[in-house]
Structure 1
Amino acid sequence: MRPKMRALGGAVCAGVTAMGMALSGGVANSAPEVLSPSTASDTVGAGPELSAPLAAFAYGLTHPDAAPPGANDWTCKPSAEHPRPVVLLHGTWLNAYDSFAYLSPRIARAGFCVFAFNYGREGLLEGGGLGPILPGRYGVGPLEDSARQVAGFVDRVLAATGAPAVDVVAHSQGGPVTSQYLKFDGGQGKVRKVISLGATSHGTSLMGIATLGRWITNMGVNILGFYEPILGQSNIEQTVGSPFYTKLDADGDTVPGVDYTAIGTEHDEVSNPYQWTFLQQGPGATVDNITLQQDCAQDLSDHLTIMYSPRAASIALRALDPAAHPDLECAFNPWMIGGDGHL
């Protein structure tokens, strides 16, 4: 994609994203709610398997609490070959279904027990305000509250499966929420692998918009605070230089005993610059930072369509089970539309 077209496309997508933020934001609840599995249906495969993100997003609007296909079989017992369940964590303004309608069934068919839920609900989305306009949007609440919700969900998964630990596959905000859980909310020892896709691991500049907002705030005008009720607290916390990241990154990117795979795409207009999604290895951890376009330039995945990229899916499967999935796919995945290019 030529630079001018990429910039134009990024601006269009940023505009669509901003509209989504404005419609789905809210005011944080005073106390976090640990959501039960019913917030992403207990029924296995409650939502259809889809390869086009826009179709999945549309389905997720009308079925916001549907489980992604292959997920949430609470009778599933991990096998000797795959002893750890896989927990899927969605990103900002999304839900478990529209984030993982493509990836979840692939992980399940590979022999893993798969679980997903919706976290990060905020008050304005609950039954009033802007909620009815764009329902089913999660991941907008305070990141620390979301990490505690993840802690509760992981404990339920471990209790149901009898597994000693889980592996996590996280998109966007799911990356820093996982780090918060590992570092501050009892996750260390309960997670063995973390595979992130387009994670906002060190914040985002949103093509410079967030950086400008932080600069204006530092000049004495709290412009980010002004927009917080509209954008949702998690969006403000994910801007580069926020107090959340100052605390989160103080002792490095990783925790001992965890293997990390961080997948980034050059065409990411949200986790931007995309290199910020990568991690620096600390003591007792391993890190594999992978640019999606390395050896596969035709994959044009952006921040959302990376979840529908055959190559990204193959990287995630290799990270979960390198012996069974050593080879990486390479396929055209169009920017913004994703999948096979159809709606």
Structure 2
Amino acid sequence: MAAVLCAVALAGPAEAAPAYPVTPNIAVGIAQSLPNPAGSPAGVNVTCTPGSAHPRPVVLVTGTFGNMIDDWSGLGPTLANAGYCVYSTPLGGDPHSVIQTTGPVAGSARQIQGFVDEVLAKTGAGQVDLVGHSQGGLISEYYLKLLGGAAKVHTFVGLSPTTHGTTLDGLAYLATAFPGGEALVGAACAACADQVVGSPVVRAVNDGPIAQPGVAYTVIETRNERVVTPAGSAAFIDEPGVKNLWVQDTCPFDFTDHGSLSYSKTVYDLTLNALDPAHARQIHC
């Protein structure tokens, strides 16, 4: 539990104060979500018109047991401060419960399908970009491949997605980070069963090419991975054109683990560069 809650990327150089406050780590994010689990992080789901520099809204897709605040209070405001319109939505369970994203992956993918349509209608954009953490990556992959989402998505960034499935032990380890999460692993967590190696959902996503034509795919993983295992091979998409990135190949002393990927300064920059490779920025370690 301590590894999940406390591992945070090493701080980079001092920067100007952001317009939206960026939560420093997942432990604080979880604490902030307890009184308001249906809330949105700073800079996420605010009234926003995409500008010419970043014409596509970014839709953040939460991971197992997570809600918008505990999963995206680091990366969400970071993207908003960089000029993106950023959106997210509760998935796979009671939106007023601290523990969310536990419903069937296919159902959550249909929620994302409807939510993307709402974001496009609201912003007038032609496409969105998707960033999914853990199960959020698998949900995104399912939407892109099996629900026709590729036509509406330009870029997909997966933060340790459960692309090829993982073990129930890995999901049980993740559950220790969330109050009450351990009690849901197994029969009470349809999403957990859907993410196990060899599940019907995993087989459907892996039946033929995963990466869809017209979509730019980047997968970001940490060598300190203990949830989506084996590290790397369980998450990466080994197909032409897909960028598979290790956090530690850029910043060797970054101790980010699975739970803290969306709070890593290294991951912030890798994600921003994946969304806008024409204006790649220096990576902060």
- SS state at 1:169 partner: strand
Cα offset for 1:227?
6.4
Instruction: Determine if the alignment matches structure 1 residue 307 to structure 2 residue 262.
Output: yes
2: CA distance, partners of 1:300 / 1:81: 32
Q: In the alignment, what sits opposite 2:113?
A: 151
List structure 1 segments (4+ residues) > 6 angstroms apart after TM superposition.
Answer: none
Letter in 2 for 1:54: A
1: CA distance, partners of 2:171 / 2:135: 18
1: CA distance, partners of 2:68 / 2:185: 26
RMSD: 2.3
Instruction: Determine if the alignment matches structure 1 residue 106 to structure 2 residue 78.
Output: yes
Q: Deviations over 1:111-147 (max 9, x none)?
A: 11111111111xxx588xxxxxxx3211100000000
Instruction: Determine if the alignment matches structure 1 residue 319 to structure 2 residue 274.
Output: yes
The percentage of counterpart residues that share the same residue type is: 38
2: CA distance, partners of 1:202 / 1:179: 11
2: CA distance, partners of 1:246 / 1:150: 20
Q: In the alignment, what sits opposite 1:287?
A: 242
Cα offset for 1:228?
3.6
Which structure 2 segments of 5+ residues have no match?
6-18, 173-183
Q: In the alignment, what sits opposite 2:22?
A: 49
Which gives a bigger RCO, structure 1 or 2 (Cα 8 Å, sep 6+)? 2
Compute the TM-score of the two structures, normalised by the length of structure 1.
Answer: 0.71
Q: Write out aligned runs for 1:1-343 (5 A).
A: 49-74=22-47, 76-121=48-93, 135-205=97-167, 228-230=186-188, 232-275=189-232, 276-281=234-239, 286-330=241-285
1: CA distance, partners of 2:75 / 2:170: 31
Compute the TM-score of the two structures, normalised by the length of structure 2.
Answer: 0.85
Q: In the alignment, what sits opposite 1:34?
A: none
Cα offset for 1:229?
2.9
Indicate conservation of the 8 Å contact 2:75/2:268, yes or no: yes
Letter in 2 for 1:116: S
2: CA distance, partners of 1:325 / 1:66: 31
Cα offset for 1:324?
3.1
Q: Deviations over 1:313-339 (max 9, x none)?
A: 110011112233332121xxxxxxxxx
Indicate conservation of the 8 Å contact 1:96/1:116, yes or no: yes
Letter in 2 for 1:84: R
Letter in 2 for 1:253: I
- SS state at 1:82 partner: coil
Indicate conservation of the 8 Å contact 1:69/1:104, yes or no: yes
Letter in 2 for 1:109: N
Q: Deviations over 1:275-332 (max 9, x none)?
A: 11111225xxx311001111422111111111111101110011112233332121xx
